[in-house]
Structure 1
Amino acid sequence: MKHSTRLTRSRVIGGIGALAATAIVLTGCSSGGSSDSTDSAASGDLTPVSLQLQWFSQAQFAGYYAALDQGFYEDEGLDVTILEGATDIVPIDVLTGGDADYAISWVPKVLGSIEQGAAVTDVAQIFERSGTTQISMKDKNITSAADLKGKTVGSWGYGNEWELFAGMNKAGVKLDDISLVAQAFDMNGFLAGDIDAAQAMTYNEYAQVLETKNPSTGKLFTPDELNVIDWNTEGTAMLQDAIWADSDRLADDSAYADTTVKFIKASIKGWAYARDNAEDAAKIVTASGSQLGESHQLWMTNEVNKLIWPSTSGVGTINQDQWDQTVKIAMDTPNETGATVISEEPPATAFSNEYVEKALSELKDEGVDVMGEGFTPIDVTLKEGGE
């Protein structure tokens, strides 16, 4: 069902001050699946629902913006507000604090919160593959984790380092064998030559390098000038973007459980739309207020699609082997202080396929392709600065 573009800033709340804004948007309707949610005359008979992102508006979240823009949430009876993230916002804290109905976050980051008492459940594992890499210039001769020994290695920290540490551990490279530096959330240190191997998401920082001119050639860097360590290939990938819900509400509130199925269903339709209409999806995100350039936004949409499609078991399904690998790395891999993400297995409530399976069943009945077996990435030409 095609809807006219309706994405406005009133439906997408900015990250800075998002919590304060949420209180205004959801006044008198703090829980998307609660019985009193139907009293909201402003949204007609729609159930108000809020989604907390883990970062600012960008095509990493293209499926949710597409679902909003195309009316997929409305088709399911939901009035969805997207809350942007920021450096000072922890999505799971927003969810457990009652200020959002759902949140997007990486699994290893949330496992630590769960061990500390957060009652949340991974109800749809949207990203099946990891987008985290370690990149280097060709002349550094770094093609695998083993080659990091003796090098200056950048890491963002904040829970982004575990695949790197696990890859090094698997390759027999100790933290004492490298010079670990705190990498800013950009590629300036790498481009300046201060970092031999830098962390880079396939859909963001890697593109930042390719959008920059090589001072030696006067032309934009090309993939041929870079080496990439892919943690999917190295065998230490961890599950990333997932939809998280409140475990207690799922158990006690049937309306919230029903809303969860509807929200997942519409979100997956949004991701299928982004798969089949990458250019349009990128434009939708740009229209939401993202500060990233058009070519960068399209690159991001295309690369994120690669993390989702083709799907092994139906997009959103939490595959047991991938979950187990993520948990094992979280338990067995120490950081620079010797600490691990978690000290014991997470509870059974940490993930559930119950809701996504219901959503997938309905989508299949409606003829929506939830596997994406024929998915083919598009060719994207980056421009300087991502414009």
Structure 2
Amino acid sequence: MKAKIFRQPKLWRFLALLGALVMVATACGNDDGGDTQQPEATMSPTAGGEGEQPEMPAAGSEDEPAELTEVSLQLQWVPQSQFAGYFAARDLGFYEDVGLDVEIIDGGLDIVPATVLDSGGADFAISWVPRGLVPREEGLNITNIAQVFQRSGTLQVSFAEAGINEPADLAGKKVGNWGFGNEFELFAGLNSVGLDPKSDVTLVQQDFNMTALINGDIDAAQAMIYNEYAQVLETINPETGELFQPEDLRVIDWNEVGTAMLQDAIWADADRLESHAKYRDIAVRFVEASLRGWIHCRDNFQECVDIIMAASPLGGPGHQAWMMNEINALIWPSPGGVGIMDQALYDQTIEVATSQGVLASAPDAGAFRTDIAQEAVDNLRAAGHDVFGNNYARQDVQVTEGGQ
């Protein structure tokens, strides 16, 4: 049995979204983000008071099975190891354990998770922090309820012979970047060493791959450590006939430079959190089961790779294994507990966002909240789960040609 979450109508936002979709064709993945119609306003019979877990019948009970509350999650991109924790929570029954039936909605280039969330097209969404804060500044009342990634995965990658070892070495170079708001860590990094992105480097619009770097069209390429960086290592070096090796490359890590911005987080509808206690209760349960999924992927690496492969991801099993390894390293260790916001890293993100004009001003205190994630973490700790991962170590992943 299933029950839908109560959704607060937001007619004006829905109409605005619909109008925008009619007038503008965007290209920024593969799905339309799912049904944005508002379901009937029914209260979830499984959602109790704030912080309560639904009562589940004891084994062998003749009572009717407890109803599951239908919940939808909008991804930022298509299925891949970046989202393995959510697929693990769904496929291994962690969501069901807390009374939820979760639909995971694919993202894509033309999907803005914040907009889908605010319009009522999804109950929760995964989005990088700046990509949630910008729509929020523009009027969408959403809030970050669990900061899953503790570190940025964005790099600037070059070949060793280019001699680019730090941001200052980018002066006079052809520097690739994707645009679409992905360039701000790079720009802040250039500014930090006195370089003007508009005049001291040659900016080149880069595709979401490493072809331009491999072909020598640019000197340094933007890359995610869990994706594009691996694409180079999965490519045959024509000079050696073997795969490129890490020592062939030089990497600028924005975490080390100090201009990194926080990325994947779980976002919720702030209006509903304030006006509907049942939605907040569901949010706690959703975050708890999701974080349990990430704990499982930390401790059961290959199983989570297999789960993602079954979800029809981009890339082969070798590439997804690399990605799973690096995604885990962005989450673990979590010094304050998985999903808990690191205030210093948040402040750094806001500093970069405001200095680069991503945000007009620092957001108010409602941009994120820690009570929901803290309650979820407390529940997980009480159940015996390691929510810190202090002993986490990367797996030894073998790079394969083409990620196969």
Alpha-carbon displacement from aligned partner over 1:136-185 (angstroms, at most 9, x marks no partner)? 00000001111110000011111111111111110111111000011111
Aligned equivalents of 2:194, 2:45: Cα separation in 1: 54
The one-letter code sitting in structure 1 at the alignment partner of 2:175 is: V
| Equivalent residues in 2 for 1:275-294, closer than 5 Å | 275-294=298-317
In structure 2, the partner of 1:384 is: 401
Alpha-carbon displacement from aligned partner over 1:254-277 (angstroms, at most 9, x marks no partner)? 110000000110001000010011
Q: Is the Cα–Cα contact under 8 Å of residues 111 and 341 in structure 1 kept in the other structure?
A: no
Aligned equivalents of 2:295, 2:367: Cα separation in 1: 26
Q: CA deviation at 1:108?
A: 1.2
% same residue: 51
Task: Determine helix, strand or coil for the equivalent of 2:319.
Answer: helix
The one-letter code sitting in structure 1 at the alignment partner of 2:30 is: I
Does residue 1:100 correspond to 2:122, yes or no?
Answer: yes
| Equivalent residues in 2 for 1:119-198, closer than 5 Å | 119-175=141-197, 176-198=199-221
The one-letter code sitting in structure 2 at the alignment partner of 1:54 is: Q
Q: CA deviation at 1:28?
A: 3.8
Alpha-carbon displacement from aligned partner over 1:90-116 (angstroms, at most 9, x marks no partner)? 111110110000111111122211111
The 1:171/1:265 distance shift into structure 2, 3 A limit, reads: same
The 1:156/1:121 distance shift into structure 2, 3 A limit, reads: same
Q: Is the Cα–Cα contact under 8 Å of residues 74 and 104 in structure 2 kept in the other structure?
A: yes
Task: Determine helix, strand or coil for the equivalent of 2:135.
Answer: helix
In structure 2, the partner of 1:116 is: 138
Task: Determine helix, strand or coil for the equivalent of 2:335.
Answer: coil
Aligned equivalents of 1:270, 1:240: Cα separation in 2: 18
Aligned equivalents of 2:43, 2:128: Cα separation in 1: 30
Task: Determine helix, strand or coil for the equivalent of 1:195.
Answer: coil
In structure 2, the partner of 1:303 is: 326
The one-letter code sitting in structure 2 at the alignment partner of 1:84 is: D
Q: Is the Cα–Cα contact under 8 Å of residues 37 and 48 in structure 1 kept in the other structure?
A: no
In structure 1, the partner of 2:5 is: none
Q: Is the Cα–Cα contact under 8 Å of residues 31 and 108 in structure 2 kept in the other structure?
A: no
2:382 equivalent among 358, 365, 368: 365
The one-letter code sitting in structure 2 at the alignment partner of 1:322 is: L
Greater gyration radius:
2
RMSD of aligned alpha carbons: 1.6
Q: CA deviation at 1:22?
A: 3.3
Aligned equivalents of 1:232, 1:328: Cα separation in 2: 14
In structure 2, the partner of 1:239 is: 262
Q: CA deviation at 1:190?
A: 1.1
**Unmatched segments (≥5 aa) in structure 1:** 1-14, 334-339
The one-letter code sitting in structure 2 at the alignment partner of 1:35 is: M
Aligned equivalents of 1:36, 1:327: Cα separation in 2: 36
Aligned equivalents of 1:294, 1:81: Cα separation in 2: 24
Moved beyond 2 Å, runs of 4+: 15-19, 26-30, 36-39
- TM norm structure 2: 0.86
In structure 2, the partner of 1:3 is: none
In structure 2, the partner of 1:323 is: 346
**Unmatched segments (≥5 aa) in structure 2:** 1-28, 48-64
Number of residue pairs matched by the alignment: 358
Q: CA deviation at 1:195?
A: 1.1
In structure 2, the partner of 1:214 is: 237
Q: Is the Cα–Cα contact under 8 Å of residues 202 and 303 in structure 1 kept in the other structure?
A: yes
Q: CA deviation at 1:344?
A: 1.2
- TM norm structure 1: 0.90
In structure 1, the partner of 2:251 is: 228
Q: CA deviation at 1:17?
A: 4.0
Aligned equivalents of 1:127, 1:38: Cα separation in 2: 30
Q: CA deviation at 1:348?
A: 1.2
Aligned equivalents of 2:39, 2:148: Cα separation in 1: 31
Aligned equivalents of 1:29, 1:290: Cα separation in 2: 33
Aligned equivalents of 1:193, 1:163: Cα separation in 2: 23
Aligned equivalents of 2:257, 2:266: Cα separation in 1: 26
